[in-house]
Structure 1
């Protein structure tokens, strides 16, 4: 199914698509549902719900003509708005994956397998086998499609980390910290492997920080399996990553950035407290920053398409970084 996404007060495009994927089946199962009730179920305002329903008017299967799109009717019954959805019978059809969809799902399963426990990997392996066979039959050219996923991290690092998890043994890491551009030594009691934004992280109790930390595997220079038993203290709890890897604190500094249209992705990739869109598509965003060095690197990476407005000292630091970088080019 294809969606025509819009920027709205109910979050970015990704949040709206997630909502629509759940909203449409709900409305089909509850014909004549009241606007107020549906908004309460999905935890959004009635205004946002109406905006989402407006998007559904332009949704349908790829290749559909405009007249074949989903239809949404909003009537008034006893003074309250009710919703009826029609022309969406294709949602009841059995799912048929295309070859590209099957390959995409296989890639996702292969990545998921790398972070699962032993029992989970056995189940995922069975699913992968059946899906590879189905994908091969769909192509009509081979009996089975084999998918391999290459990763950035060292396979030996991943194998040792997994061994530490399975045997509950402490790990010694040499870990590169990009914000300080230094490699640190630390002992870690591993807790789990997690995926976030396409990267694999080891979550564990760091004895150096005396707290739970996430270590991106591709930044692990080396890892050794120690004889000590991994025993995270009672206060060590896995982080809730449902809202994303970076979860700002109210104590973090608040920065204001102006983004040209080509850099608008920043407002969806990072959690922002406020997003204001101008007529030309540029954005003015306010977001929390735990480490100013991170924002300096981001601003330099975006070049002229991003400008830090506040705080003033951080904006000046970015300008100084840019001048220094340009001067280095002139001397070479």
Structure 2
């Protein structure tokens, strides 16, 4: 069994990359069984799972992060994860990424210890076989194209931007499993890490929005001109920005709930009364906020927006009524 002191950062990264597909394939796994499978102890697996709370796809909005059922983990020692299907998909390389990997592996193979050299050589053989030329012309490797290269909506959006025309898009929101159609004034396309975003004025939301291109299911260039032909695209690369379906939520956290600041990216933090802190988060789903508040109760208060607060209060009262009215049987 691997001890905690012997566990290095590369060990943990490798385990995390294998852990999520392992869990998703099984639905739920006992903590001790997962520890045995990965040759470590239960405490280390629990530390791994708490680290997963802070990981997800860019730009790292709460709805983009992996979710771990802490109640099941701490109570029944059962592991359940959600919102992590992208890690169960096969790894896809762009041509440049595949070439960089091959170059790095070739550099490593000569200096690698004997036990690692065989693994490196077999990996190189597979990658070079994909090239079809014993590794020559690796930039022509048969790999999946990047989102910019493969997305059918990119040329449509680029044409609309160039012509100063509006566009109609169909946008998918995975956190709510919903599609919405809206008319936008497209301003520009920007790459943030490995994702592409459309910066636009949304006539449906009546505000500036940044749409993830991989969530735009369809796009049509319209004949109508944009409302403000002189509007310039915003710089989306400078830090946090709101996705098309996010809202700002303000929570007041008592000390037992301060862990939220460590696990989720907050846009603002202020001291509150009686040793509390007030934090702002950008969230993509009211349901996600409600679930978080139930986990934090009674150590968190939803201050804004008002409609979310009213909805949560109603849901909390309905839940309590199940107990008060004898709707739940206790052993």
Tell me the TM-score normalized by structure 1. Answer: 0.41
Which of 1 and 2 has higher RCO (CA within 8 Å, sep 6+)? Answer: 2
